[in-house]
Amino acid sequence: MIKITDLEKFYRTEEVETIALNKLSMEVGTGEFVAIMGPSGCGKSTLLNILGMLDDPDEGSYMFNSIEVAHFNERKRADLRKHNIGFVFQSFNLIDELTVFENVELPLIYTGVPSAERVKRVEEVLDKMQIMHRRNHYPQQLSGGQQQRVAIARAVVNKPKLILADEPTGNLDSSNGNDVMELLTDLNEQGTTIIMVTHSEHDARYSHRIIRLLDGQTVMENIMI
Amino acid sequence: MLKNYLKISWRNLVKNKAHTFINIAGLSLGMAVVMLISLWIYDELSYDKYFKNYDRIVQVMQHQTVNGDVNTGTSIPIPLGAKLRQDYKGDFKYAVLSSWTEPHILSHGDKKLVKDGNFMQPEAPYIFTLNMLRGSRSGLNDPSSILLSSTLAKAIFGDADPMNQIIKIDNQLTVKVTGVYETPPYNTSFSYIHFILPWDLYLTTRPFLKRVQNNWGNNSWQIFALLAPNADINNVDAKIKYIKRDNLKLQGDAFTLSYKPVLFLHPLSKWHLYSDFKNGINTGGKIEFVWMFGIIGLFVLILACINFMNLSTARSEKRAKEVGIRKTLGSMRNQLVGQFFTESLLMAFFAFLFSLMLVQLTLPWFNQVADKRMTLLWSNPWFWLIGIGFTLLTGLLAGSYPAFYLSSFKPVKVLKGTFKAGRFAAVPRKVLVVLQFTVSVTLIIGTIIVFRQVQFTKNRPVGYDRAGLIQAQMKTNDIHSHFDAVKNDLFKSGAIAGIAESDSPLTGVWSNESGFSWRGKPPGLLDDFGIIPVSYDFGKTAEWQLMEGRDFSRSFATDTSTIIVNEAAAKFMNFKHPVGEVIKWEGQNVTIIGEIKDMVMSSPYEPVKPSIFALLPYKGSFINIRLNPKIGTSAALGKIEAVFKQYAPDSPFDYKFTDTEYASKFEDEERIGRLSGFFTVLAIFISCLGLFGMASFMAEQRTKEIGVRKVLGASVMNLWGLMSREFVVLVVISIIIASPVAYYFMQNWIKNYKYHADISWWIFAGTAAGAMLITLLTVSYQGIKSALMNPIKSLRSE
């Protein structure tokens, strides 16, 4: 599904140039669950942003489903993104002004799903995430665990082929964290590819493969049994 | 999608109540001001449009040159009327002579009213296409007829049929009602003319009128005309230009010729807004106010839009996260632009509704200030079309910057929390604040100068005591023929301290003459004196101030051939001590017996005209009475009325207070002052709303910084200074820009008045101090509030 080759990304300020990704290459197959780990500043999040087409690489190739996307313009990226990729963030990133239902509905609006179909699909996914009873609440009225479940519901409602999760349990206690990991595992078992950035060895164990980064390069890969 | 836009827009409005309030209040105030100003401008521009022949009605006017100055006026000589009617038939469909609009007593049975009207030739109703409710436009063909306005007909006859009823004019003339016309609306040049009498009847009222039928040198009447359908005003202008000059030549009137009369046509479309002439050139007039208020309106709207943009972009960092999430979920940039425009349009729409309410509520008051009778044009489709178009424009204009700015955020940055508006992101906002305050400060300075000019002129010494004086126009002979008896009775009643007749009111000079000669008069000097015929005791009644010589006195039989001059006249004749000098006036020698201090009788903004006071040889048009200050005004007036009724039972006691009449000379300037004051207050208020919003935003943004500073030992005063400094700097820049701009414009304005106040430095200093104070008051609330906050709280909020 994903093949990146010699990917480079630099951050420049007036005086210093920092290398975030240094000729990084990797592949992720369809249906895989991959964890990316590494110390702060190793380039995990940069990688995830590039994979999610939120950011451009400076050099190298990024093939998504055999299409070269490294230098797509914003419009094309947005189009590819909204049909194929779901995001789960550490800080949930729900829109405060919208209810649970409306937050989950949003990606469907952007992909032009008709209203009746939207209601059906949102209800389905809320049910699955066991958050249906909170459908009319606003994000601030929910616990962290509940908010992350809403965020996951939003990420999967469009049935994306790939879910990118950036420390999905980082703001949760261990019990809620485990719940979220179970949810992601279930999704993966149903065929969704998952790439997750994490600091937690415990969470990483849910994945099939751990890629460890240091200074923008792969230093080790562990295959989980 | 639209539903989603509307939903989130609505929730954003509700969630940020203060921000919404500031935005909608500011915008709706701005819109209300623009609406009021637009109504005012519409009213001004539609002045006289009631007349169907708006484009072809003209008044004949003339320029005359006196010692190099060109004076322009509407008075013309009588024979011009016949000349135009006979020899220029191809150019004028109608041309009619008219008297001035004057008050007359109209009586029918016991009803007696004093109303203004004109004597005009019979075609006048056709020129002005009077809308006849009864009778026909030919009603004036009968020389003993009268046409009444519907308002006057109602006042005299109530619901009874006015046609063919008999009315007495000034207790002398008997006329029959031959028509009733719809009263022209208030914004027409004819709204004060309540009746029209036939010109031929006028000619029978005064014997001297017969004598001036062929006198081209006496300018005492008016001519209104309707151009022929194919006539071009410029061509006709060229044709009539020298008619008067040529006829004066024929008559051998070299003296009047020396004034170089030039005739021209002034179209109805210019009567109201372009009535000023300087040196023979039409220099505008009220049109300047139309421009001025138009510009003010535009500025106020811009101020309100600036607020909107400023607050929206200031809040952008709060909305950045939302933009990031939406972009991550696949929103296109244009969808975000659409969303922000929806928000701004929604707000503009609410503001429009509120502004309609505001205008509806304030219109009665505004009408009073502006002396108008404007209404909101609810049923006019143009009003709605323009109103809604204008709302859309405002919404788009106000929302454009936030829409394009907010939608350009990069999702990676905002979601990671690394998004911080750069060092220069606030620059456009600062520029906008400076622009706002520049406009406000300019308006403040302008308004102060207008008020000061009015006040300065009001305080001008007038040369007599106008308090406790009343003046009454005498349309009949009753009081004059019993003058001594009236005077005795009034003194006996204790109601008065003085009484005298005069031919002009104390607040005007109604007659001018030239052709005087005196010792040492330079050859070729053209003279023009105001002539005020007065009775004995006039000086005592008005309490004028004699500088030398004496007042007229019954003890001197020769006083009928003496005059009293004012300072300006003495100066014009170059007499240091005018008393005793002999002047030649209409072939007679008259001696100056006194010189008085200049009395301001005409425009208080102009220098006093050289004037001559002479004893009245006939009935004066006015009676001036000084009330006895020892008894109350209403008691005195009651007693005076009783005496007047006794001697003039058929004339209503119709008087005016001299000081009120004098004050009315300031009406225009005061009205302009009040209006610009009103708009200035609103402009300041709108700017302050914006400032307040900006300050609260900044306080919010710097919460952490303030917390850290406080932990490190900053005092509340330090923090207040920190928070206020930035705004004070912006306002100082505004003052520096606004002061020369305001000076330039106001210097030009004030130059129009010969008697004017200086533009002093303290106006600028005071405005600067005021603006600074307002700024500090506005921003301090937020500054102090955040400075007093517990730092633990502010630090935790990050």
Which residues on B lie below 8 Å from A96 (Cβ)? 15, 322
**Residues of chain A positioned with their CB less than 8 A from the CB of B342:** none
Mean pLDDT of B275-303: 87
Inter-chain CB proximity B416 and A45 less than 8 Å? yes
Instruction: Assess A19–B contact: CB distance below 8 Å, yes or no.
Output: no
Shortest Cα–Cα distance, A25 to chain B (Å): 22
Which chain B residues contact residue A94 at CB under 8 A? Answer: 325
Please indicate if any CB of chain A lies within 8 Å of the CB of B420.
no
Could you tell me which residue, B134 or B709, shows the higher pLDDT?
Answer: B134
Please say if the pLDDT value at position B507 is more than 70.
Answer: yes
Is residue B736's pLDDT more than 70? yes
Is there a contact between B180 and B162 (Cβ–Cβ < 8 Å)? yes
- Average pLDDT of B157-173? 93
Q: Scanning every residue of chain A, which has its alpha carbon at the shortest distance from the alpha carbon of B328?
A: A54
The CA R_g of chain A, rounded to the nearest whole Å, is: 17
User: Which positions in chain A touch B329 (Cβ < 8 Å)?
Assistant: 82, 87, 106-107, 110, 154
Averaged pLDDT for residues B176-186: 95
Inter-chain residue contact A97 with B325, CB threshold 8 Å: no
C-alpha B696/C-alpha B693 separation (Å) is: 5
* Contacts with B14 from chain A: Cβ below 8 Å: none
Give percent of chain A with pLDDT exceeding 70: 100
Q: Kindly report, residue by residue over B486-506, the tens digit of the pLDDT.
A: 999 999 999 999 999 999 999
Q: Do A97 and B328 touch (CB under 8 A)?
A: no
pLDDT in tens, B685-706: 888 888 887 787 777 777 777 7
Q: Contact B330/A107, CB-based, under 8 Å?
A: yes
Nearest-5° Cα angle at A25, A22 to A29: 150
What span, in angstroms and rounded, lies between the C-alpha atoms of B98 and B190?
A: 13
Query: A18 touching B, CB under 8 A?
Result: no
Chain A nearest-CA residue for B15? A97
Distance CA(B5)–CA(B348), nearest Å, equals 15
B696 in Cβ contact with B18 (< 8 Å) = yes
* CATH number, domain containing residue A66: 3.40.50.300
Distance CA B340, CA B308 (A): 12
pLDDT at B23 over 50: yes
Which secondary structure element, helix H or strand E, spans residue B443, and what is its range?
helix B427-458
Tokens read off for A152: 């996951």
CB contact under 8 A, A97 and B335: no
User: Which range, B3-17, B54-68, B775-789, has the best average confidence (pLDDT)?
Assistant: B54-68
pLDDT by residue (tens digit) across B756-776? 888 999 999 999 999 899 888
Number of CB atoms found within 10 A of residue B509's CB: 19
For residues B416 and B333, the answer to whether their CB atoms sit within 8 Å is: no
Strands (E), chain A: 2-12, 17-28, 33-37, 59-64, 67-68, 85-88, 162-166, 193-197, 209-214, 217-223
Tell which wins on pLDDT, B791 or B365.
B365
Asked if residue B14 lies in contact with residue B20, where contact means CB atoms within 8 angstroms, the answer is yes
Chain B contact set for A171 (CB, 8 A): none
pLDDT at B796: 52
* CB-CB under 8 Å, B333 with A74: yes
Average pLDDT, chain B: 88
Of A95, A118, A136, A141, which to mutate for an interface test with B (greatest number of B Cβ within 10 Å)?
A95
Q: What is the extent of the structural domain holding A32?
A: 1-221
Q: What's residue A203's pLDDT?
A: 92
Contact B156/B148 with Cβ under 8 angstroms? yes
More confident residue, B620 or B317: B620
Put simply, the answer to whether A54 touches B328 (Cβ < 8 Å) is: yes
pLDDT higher than threshold 70 for residue B91: yes
- Is B643's pLDDT higher than 50? yes
3-class secondary-structure state, position B11: helix
pLDDT in tens, B191-226: 889 999 999 999 988 778 888 888 898 888 999 999
Mutation site for B-interface testing, chosen from A110, A115, A119, A122 by largest number of B Cβ within 10 Å: A110
Name the residue facing B329 among A49, A97, A106 (closest C-beta): A106
| 3-state SS assignment for residue B22 | helix
Q: Give residue B440's region: left, alpha or beta (phi > 0; psi -120 to 50).
A: alpha
The amino acid that residue A118 corresponds to is: R
User: Which of the four pLDDT bands, split at 50, 70 and 90, describes residue B684?
Assistant: confident
pLDDT (average), residues B645-665: 89
Phi first, then psi, for residue B149 (nearest 5°) are -75, 155
Residue of B nearest to A115 (CA): B1
* pLDDT at B162 > cutoff 80: yes
Q: Which of A83, A93, A102 sits opposite B321 (nearest CB)?
A: A93
Residue window 120-179, chain A: list those with CB within 8 Å of chain B: 154
Nearest CA in chain A to B330: A82
Is the predicted pLDDT of residue B420 greater than 60, yes or no? no
Which residues does B664 contact at the CB level (< 8 Å), separation at least 6?
none
A97–B15 CB contact, under 8 Å: yes
| Cβ within 8 Å of residue B448, ≥6 positions away | B763, B766, B767
A78 touches chain B (CB under 8 A): yes
Confidence at residue B364, expressed as pLDDT on a 0 to 100 scale: 93
Confidence of residue B650 (pLDDT cuts 50, 70, 90): confident
Q: What is the pLDDT of residue B798?
A: 38
Range with the poorest average pLDDT among B73-77, B94-98, B274-278, B403-407 = B403-407
What span, in angstroms and rounded, lies between the C-alpha atoms of B352 and B358?
Answer: 10
Amino acid type, B211:
R
Count of C-beta atoms within a 10 Å radius of residue B790? 10
Task: Calculate mean pLDDT across residues B639-657.
Answer: 90
Residue A93 is nearest to which of B325, B331, B332, comparing CB atoms? Answer: B325
Say if residue B311's pLDDT is above 90: no
B321 touches chain A (CB under 8 A): yes
Q: What percent of chain B has pLDDT over 90?
A: 47
A98 touches chain B (CB under 8 A): yes
3-state secondary structure B381-432: HHHHHHHHHHHHHHHHHHHHHHHHHHCCCCHHHHHHCCCCCCCCCCHHHHHH
Q: How many CB pairs below 8 A link A and B?
A: 60
Chain A residues within an 8 Å CB radius of B331: 78, 110
Classified as helix, coil or strand, B173 is: strand
The Cβ of residue B411 has, within 10 Å, a number of other Cβ atoms equal to 26
Helix ranges, B179-221 (H): 199-205, 207-211
Contact B412/A at CB under 8 A: yes
Complex prediction ipTM: 0.75
Position B791 scores a pLDDT of: 66
Min distance A155 CA to chain B CA atoms (Å) = 8
Query: Residue B698's closest CA among B580, B782, B768, B583?
Result: B782
Amino acid at B798: E
Which parts of chain A have pLDDT scores under 50? none
Domain total of chain A: 1
- What pLDDT is stored for residue A62 in this prediction? 93
What's the predicted TM-score (pTM) here?
0.77
In this complex, do A93 and B328 lie within 8 Å of one another by their Cβ atoms? yes
Q: Do the Cβ atoms of A98 and B8 come within 8 Å?
A: yes
The closest of A53, A39, A89, A10 to A213, measured between CA atoms, is: A39
Question: Cα(A13)–Cα(B718) distance, rounded to whole angstroms?
Answer: 33
Residue B578 has pLDDT above 80, yes or no: yes
CA distance, residue A154 to nearest chain B CA (Å): 9
Whether chain A has a CB inside 8 Å of the CB on B335: the answer is yes
Burial zone of B121 (CB within 10 Å; 0-12 exposed, 13-18 middle, 19+ buried): buried
Q: What is the DSSP letter of A140?
A: G
Least confident among A216-225, B16-25, B305-314, B736-745: B305-314
Q: Is the pLDDT of residue B797 over 80?
A: no
Specify whether the CB–CB gap between B297 and A65 falls below 8 A.
Answer: no
For range B443-471, the mean pLDDT: 89
